[in-house]
Amino acid sequence: MDFRVKVGNKEAGTIPYESLPAFTYLFRELGFNVQPDNGNQKVQLCSALHGKKIVISSDYDVKRNTFRKHLLERKVLEYIQTFLSACGAKVILIDEKKESESADFHVYLSLFEVPVIKEPTLELIHNSKISNKKLLDIFHYECTRTGTKFKSDEVVRGANNPFINIQIMYPIITEEDFWKKFGEKYAMSITIGILARFHGSSPLSVLSLVPIEIFSNMFVHSQNTELILDPALQKEKRLPEKKKFLLKKPTINKRKEAEVFLDYHIFIEELEDRNKIKLIGNLHIKNIGTEVLRNPVICLRSTPSESIKISGQILPPNVADTLGVMKNEETKGWKYMNDEWFEEMEKGETWICPIQSKNIAPRQTESLTNLQISVLKPEENSNIRVEAFVFFKEQDLEISSSNQISLLLTKKK
């Protein structure tokens, strides 16, 4: 009988029932809140920060002035909220003071761009030096690492309402440069300090904040899923000496998926009797799944069917092997798929395929470049539309482009 293991809301794997006591003891020592549920045959693991309520906000008591950077201040707070929420805490980002009364911890932040200083300074005010000792050590280290002066001060204020007040001052710098050089680092440093504050007395509990997969190599799979209580029977059917319990890694869902899109530019040449209109662009095929996609076939469909002519770096089938681009002793490029490609184009469809076999790996993009589309009768009133479709026959996959080319042509009056 196996027990399912859940970390937060995520299924992490299974363990045999006979390993449940050792599993519970181990993960409690690692800082997890372990909750076995015999009725539903599962074990719930929660991080050491699970259930903790942390409020983060701008400092209400600091008056507005021209040096205060409210937008950057908010961005730093949002990053801190993201980091702490990923660790299992309930993090509330507020603009009012009333929420702080029931919080386990409150962080106030203010951010200033000060013209007269040459290096950044972080000043931290707190109300409990004993419980914040580890936090102060972390802040001192992180500030040294980022080239920031660090100052701290303890005040007597509401022992039942633990807080830190952080004020950061930095010299004149563009907002983009501030974020690249300091902003994200400050958000991380403040988060690390808060984690240290909650885990200072039991450092192993920090392990409960990291992904559960790192523990999977500690265990070996047990083939036995049946608990035998009779000692006599256990002698006959002993577990192999090295077979303990395994926390199975979650399986990754395989996906065959792609994204197709067009980019193009319109060129209009004014002639004496008419205008000449041409579009030059590219068709991109991006593999956004987990499986390799093989041999894409492209269909360009035009409406009205006789409105355009498509050309570019696309070769007729009968000359593709000899005129294609040679690379690594193979012919690369694209060709019209069928010998009757010109007749197909006149009917509004153009079919294109690779000259040689083409694979698109996950996260890779393959492009049909320098696609040239000429408007045949630009002087007529018409609504011209070009759509793109890509087919992967081996994977039974069809994708239409996320955008299309659309031109509305009208006669001059």
Q: Residues 191-249: pLDDT tens digits?
A: 988 888 887 666 666 676 766 555 544 443 444 444 444 444 444 445 444 444 444 55
pLDDT number for residue 157:
56
pLDDT number for residue 245:
46
Instruction: Assign 3-class secondary structure to the chain.
Output: CEEEEEECCEEEEEEEHHHHHHHHHHHHHCCCEEEEECCCCEEEEECCCCCCEEEEEECCCCCCCCCECHHHHHHHHHHHHHHHHHCCCEEEEECCCHHHHHCCEEEEEEEEECCCCCCCEEEEEECCCCCCHHHHHHHHHHHHHCCCEEEEEECCCCCCCCEEEEEEEECCCCHHHHHHHHHHHHHHHHHHHHHHHHHCCCHHHHHHHCCHHHHHHHCCCCCCCCCCCCHHHHHHCCCCCCCCCCCCCCCCCCCCCEEEEEEEEEEEEECCCCEEEEEEEEEEEEECCCCCEECCEEEEEEECCCCEEEECCEECCCCHHHHCEEECCEEECEEECCCCHHHHHHCCEEEEEECCCCEECCCCEEEEEEEEEEECCCCCCEEEEEEEEEEECCCCEEEECCCCEEEEECCCC
Alpha-carbon distance 112 to 241, whole Å?
63
pLDDT number for residue 292:
92
Alpha-carbon distance 361 to 363, whole Å?
6
pLDDT number for residue 212:
57
pLDDT number for residue 297:
94
pLDDT number for residue 276:
85
Residue 396's CB is within 10 A of a number of other CB atoms, namely 8
Residues 239, 244, 247, 252: what is their CA dihedral angle, to the nearest 10 degrees?
-60
Alpha-carbon distance 207 to 59, whole Å?
32
pLDDT number for residue 224:
44
Hey, what are 136's tokens? Answer: 């102060």
pLDDT number for residue 237:
45
Q: Where are the domains of the chain?
A: 2-48+218-236, 53-199, 258-409
pLDDT number for residue 228:
42
pLDDT number for residue 364:
92
Alpha-carbon distance 158 to 302, whole Å?
72
Q: pLDDT digit string (tens) for 345-398?
A: 888 899 999 988 899 998 899 999 999 998 887 777 678 889 999 999 988 899
Low-confidence ranges of the chain (pLDDT < 50): 216-237, 239-247, 327-329
pLDDT number for residue 354:
92
pLDDT number for residue 294:
92
The highest-level CATH class for domain 258-409 is mainly beta
Q: How is domain 53-199 classified at the architecture level of CATH? A: 3-Layer(aba) Sandwich (3.40)
> What φ, ψ does residue 256 adopt, rounded to 5°?
-105, 105
pLDDT number for residue 392:
93
Q: pTM above the 0.85 mark?
A: no
By the 8 A CB rule, do 205 and 88 touch?
no
pLDDT number for residue 388:
93
Q: Token match 């068709």: residue?
A: 283
pLDDT number for residue 210:
67
By the 8 A CB rule, do 172 and 162 touch?
no
pLDDT number for residue 152:
87
Considering only CA atoms, which of 410, 405, 369 is closest in space to residue 387?
405
Instruction: Determine the residue type at 286.
Output: K
pLDDT number for residue 15:
84
pLDDT number for residue 128:
74
